Amino acid sequence: MTGTVMAGGVTQTLSVTADSRPAVEAESLAKSYGDVQAVRHVSFTIAPGEVFAFLGPNGAGKTTTVRMLCTLAKPSGGRATVAGFDVARQPKAVRRRIGLVFQEQTLDDRLSAEQNLRFHAVLYHVPADQVEDRISRVLRLVALDDRRHDLVSTFSGGMARRLEIARGMLHTPRVLFLDEPTVGLDPQTRALVWEDVLRMRTEEQVTIFLTTH
């Protein structure tokens, strides 16, 4: 064996990715509503393929931060980029590259799982010749392929949540934002959601930004 010197037992690892730009970067990002400072100058850098958890109690500014990164709210200070594009100056380029799962449920429960996904495919301009493949793939990723034709009104809370995650991935985003993906779920369903999220990361090389308490 050849000798390897390890200072203090620490080995250095280098990872090289095709795109070395951060997937998400925030620098002193801030948002105020009148006198309320919803987000107070947060800074972070997220590498491509990372699962980044944004933690904080009620009212800490998690949803507001997600809204700024997803171009739904205008920062009042600082700057942020997503997939290399500035959220304030290049909102369209950012929107094309992100998926978003809101804290509140936003499925149409009078439609089937597949119909919800088809509607989203139209809104997000998924090329017609790819829609079928993407629907099958994302349903498989969250293990709901056997419920494809069922009305969402017949789904459990956990199944609806997992369908929303699938929908967020339908248009192959670079970064998937999940606001409180496991809130209100029992421990077993929560574990399923985490498995879904990690499977998305591995199989679709997506960067995950999630908030949680």
Q: Contact residues for ligand ATP (CB under 6 A)?
A: 33, 36, 38, 56, 58-64, 103
Is residue 65 involved in binding Mg ion (CB under 5 A)? no
- Decide if 28 contacts 43 (C-beta within 8 A): yes
Selection from 69, 97, 67, 105 nearest residue 184 by Cα = 105
- Cα–Cα distances (Å) from 13 to 10, 44, 50, 117, in that order, read 10, 21, 16, 40
Which range, of 29-37, 41-49, 55-63, 165-173, touches Mg ion by CB under 5 A?
Answer: 55-63
Selection from 18, 71, 16, 24 nearest residue 51 by Cα = 24
Cβ nearer to ligand ATP, comparing 21 with 74: 74
Determine the angle formed by the axes of helices 128-141 and 157-169, rounding to 10 degrees.
Answer: 140
The 88-117 site mask, x for binding Mg ion (CB under 5 A), equals ---------------x--------------
Q: Which of the listed partners (ligand ATP, Mg ion, none) does 112 bind, with a CB threshold of 5 to 8 Å by partner kind?
A: none
Q: Which of the listed partners (Mg ion, ligand ATP, none) does 182 bind, with a CB threshold of 5 to 8 Å by partner kind?
A: none
d(CA 5, CA 164): 49
d(CA 32, CA 85): 23
Is residue 63 involved in binding Mg ion (CB under 5 A)? yes
For the bound state, the minimum distance from the C-beta of residue 53 to ligand ATP, rounded and expressed in Å, comes to: 13
Cβ nearer to ligand ATP, comparing 60 with 93: 60
Where along the sequence are the contacts to Mg ion (CB under 5 A)?
62-63, 103
